């Protein structure tokens, strides 16, 4: 019915100091989307990626247009 649809709010991140990445496990194949600090290399996990729809949701939440690099 769709009477109470959740509005998608555009989130923001520090584009000068952080870049979007996908951290993937070699063993289990689990993928987590987040942001990597360019200076320290520390990754801040945001959400678990189970399908391509989850990745699209992450990209639309933060307004990301470019391809996201994977790190193992």
Which tens digits make up the pLDDT trace of 23-68? Answer: 999 999 999 999 999 999 999 999 999 999 999 999 999 999 999 9
**pTM for this entry:** 0.79
Q: Give the other-Cβ count within 10 Å of 62's Cβ.
A: 16
Distances from the Cα of 40 to the Cα of 1, 46, 68, angstroms: 47, 18, 19
Indicate the pLDDT class of residue 13, thresholds 50, 70 and 90. Answer: confident
The alpha helices in the chain, defined as continuous H runs, are 52-62
Q: What is the pLDDT of residue 4?
A: 61
Under DSSP, the state recorded for 8 is P
- Is 58 in contact with 33 (CB distance < 8 Å)? yes
Indicate the pLDDT class of residue 3, thresholds 50, 70 and 90. Answer: low
Q: What are phi and psi of 21, to 5 degrees?
A: -140, 160
């Amino acid at each position: 019915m769709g009477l109470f649809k959740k509005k998608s709010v555009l989130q923001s991140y520090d584009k000068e100091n952080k870049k979007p990445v996908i951290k993937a496990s070699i063993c289990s194949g689990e993928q987590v989307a987040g942001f990597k600090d360019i200076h320290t290399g520390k990754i801040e996990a945001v959400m678990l990626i189970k399908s391509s729809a989850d990745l699209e949701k992450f990209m639309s939440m933060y307004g990301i247009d470019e391809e996201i690099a994977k790190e193992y």
